[in-house]
A and B are shown apart, each in its own frame.
Chain A
Amino acid sequence: MLNASIKAFLLYHKLSIKINMLNTFTLTEALSQLKLKKISLDELYTDIRTSVKKNEEYNIYLTMNEQMEQDANKLLQEKLMGVPIAVKDNFLTKGLRTTASSTLLEQFVPQFDATVIKNLKKAGGVILGKTNMDAWAHGSSTETSQFGRTLNPRNTDYLPGGSSGGSAAAVAADMCIAAIGSETAGSIRQPAAWCGTVGLKPTYGRVSRYGVVAMASSTDSPGPITKTVEDAALLLNCIAGHDVHDSTSSSQTSPDFTQAINKSVKGMKIGIAYMELTGFEEAKKLFETQVKVFEELGAEVEFVKAMDPQYAISTYTVIQRAEVSSNLGRYDGIRYGNDRSFFGAEAKRRIMLGTFTLSKGYSEQYYLEAQKVRSLFIQDFNRLFTQYDVLISLTSPGFAKKIGASEGSGMFGELEDKLIEASSIAGLPGINVPCYHDPNTNLYLGMNIIAPMWHEEKIITVADAFEKSTKWNSWRQV
């Protein structure tokens, strides 16, 4: 209560003295403070509401859960204790509008929860609201959203990245405690990099795709976007696991991912990839100085030559467009949603190109060829992982791009995500951690860490060690 009256005093006198607003808590902090009864859910939600209202101009939430406080108060005994989680708007939420940022679904209210949402609720999480994204997850900027772009809270002249740009921005702006996004090739890690947050793409099949508006079914992977690596591990614990409703979800049991926190990287073998590529010298130089941290921590670090990611762009483009054309066939305006004239320009391009590459006479030349090159990428990763525990590269070839940068380029996303796509088409787990902060622009660079399938614990250990040995995580600064 004291906290609340101090805040009221400061607001009244328009004082901007920095005090610890509860919305700035990491998930781990919020849970421990709630457990110790040092804060209450009411106080937490008041601060969340305040920050959501204050930052409306960022255009992050498309729909708010107006009864989040009531939902939360019933959950204090559960693992996530009723904390507010932001969810990308392509996860079906029962009774809460879900648009995938397309006007085609402007009035669509799902009649069931996606498995990820069901699992979150079961663990005691509360859906705070639905975040803006590239329409149908087609893009890496949020500029294809039919409800307007989201601004990067670190610097509003810049884009948040995408497609899970709203979720990453919500975390960066402390408009939630943690968030959920989804990635097909870069859509969790790239916005996390541009917004200076953590983003974890699990192994394909680790987290159920049931009830997620489908993009490319053979690579879609839901995952957490959070303030710290530990938060990501905690949230992954709550959403991972086999689901009878998703036949591609794995029946492997998921370990407790928080066990990978606070582990030493001493003796680990780390391969640094893609340093031979050109065109992003500044980012590469800054990244290279950060890699030395692992040597200081006792890991063996070596530069490696991985298969040219240029081919991953082509492979991913073919596979993704083809699967999109099939998945978006269901939107006929009969059972739900508006008719197909409501698809935006980007969705039309992707659906039609996929239709073309799958059509008679072309499917072997394009789709089958791409599936074969995909096998080559998997073989190449298998080769590298016989020598290295994890591979590391930049997440994005640079800092966030300026507003408007994606407009007029049909390949914007593919090029921005070129350092991640190979790992996505191979189904590997990956995590973004902030690895540099530019004090002039307030923008971040991100580091991408990948490991063999089903080895999320390795990327969590390496990312956590890096986060705790450096000053780049904005929530760890005192």
Chain B
Amino acid sequence: MPKTNLSIPVKHIARLAHIPITEEEEKALEVAFVETLLVVDQLKSVDVTDVAPTSQVTGLENVWRDDVAKVIDTFTQLEALANAKRQYQGFFVVPQVIDQD
């Protein structure tokens, strides 16, 4: 692994990102993150004093749509459920997230 002071909490990030990882993957990911962050760290040598950030290049601001429902943009129940792996009487089945253990 390249030398760096960075310590990356891989397990914690995996939990935040809802990505299941194995112990083996955890080590490989840490190596990959350090490799990438070393490249990224070159940004620190750029002088950005008084430079405003750009999040969107076209300069558009606050684009609104009419506050009306359009049938053409709406799924039927059948369409909405068409790709759901688990369903029950026309509903999505979702995993339990409260009181899990």
User: What is the CB-to-nearest-CB distance from A293 to chain B, in angstroms, rounded to a whole number?
Assistant: 31
The residue that A352 contacts in the complex, of B14, B35, B54, B73, with Cβ under 8 A, is B14
Does A376 touch B at the CB level, under 8 Å?
A: yes
Cβ of B36 and Cβ of A374 under 8 Å apart?
Answer: no
Binary CB contact string for chain B from 18 to 48 against chain A (1 if under 8 A, 0 otherwise): 1111000100110011011101111110101
User: What is the CB-to-nearest-CB distance from A184 to chain B, in angstroms, rounded to a whole number?
Assistant: 13
Cβ of B51 and Cβ of A372 under 8 Å apart?
Answer: yes
User: What is the CB-to-nearest-CB distance from A108 to chain B, in angstroms, rounded to a whole number?
Assistant: 6
Does B71 touch A at the CB level, under 8 Å?
A: no
For A110, the closest partner residue in chain B by CB is B83
User: Which B residues from 77 to 101 make CB contacts under 8 A with A?
Assistant: 79-80, 82-86, 92-95
Cβ of B20 and Cβ of A318 under 8 Å apart?
Answer: no
Cβ of B54 and Cβ of A336 under 8 Å apart?
Answer: no
Cβ of A250 and Cβ of B57 under 8 Å apart?
Answer: no
Cβ of B51 and Cβ of A426 under 8 Å apart?
Answer: no
Does A383 touch B at the CB level, under 8 Å?
A: no
Does A371 touch B at the CB level, under 8 Å?
A: yes
For B93, the closest partner residue in chain A by CB is A334
Contacts A109-B82, A317-B39 known; A356 to B8 CB distance under 8 Å?
yes
Does A338 touch B at the CB level, under 8 Å?
A: yes
Does B4 touch A at the CB level, under 8 Å?
A: no
The residue that A378 contacts in the complex, of B18, B33, B54, B85, with Cβ under 8 A, is B54
The residue that B17 contacts in the complex, of A317, A337, A351, with Cβ under 8 A, is A351
For A94, the closest partner residue in chain B by CB is B79
Binary CB contact string for chain A from 338 to 352 against chain B (1 if under 8 A, 0 otherwise): 101101010011011
Cβ of B63 and Cβ of A247 under 8 Å apart?
Answer: yes
User: Which A residues from 137 to 171 make CB contacts under 8 A with B?
Assistant: none
Cβ of B57 and Cβ of A453 under 8 Å apart?
Answer: yes
Does A410 touch B at the CB level, under 8 Å?
A: yes
User: What is the CB-to-nearest-CB distance from A453 to chain B, in angstroms, rounded to a whole number?
Assistant: 7
Does A473 touch B at the CB level, under 8 Å?
A: no
The residue that A248 contacts in the complex, of B33, B40, B58, B65, with Cβ under 8 A, is B58
For A424, the closest partner residue in chain B by CB is B57
CA distance A314 to B46 in the complex (A): 11
The residue that A204 contacts in the complex, of B41, B57, B95, with Cβ under 8 A, is B57
Cβ of A317 and Cβ of B36 under 8 Å apart?
Answer: yes
CA distance A107 to B84 in the complex (A): 10
For this complex, 6 residue pairs linking A to B, each with C-beta atoms less than 8 Å apart, are A205-B58, A244-B65, A334-B94, A340-B20, A341-B20, A349-B29
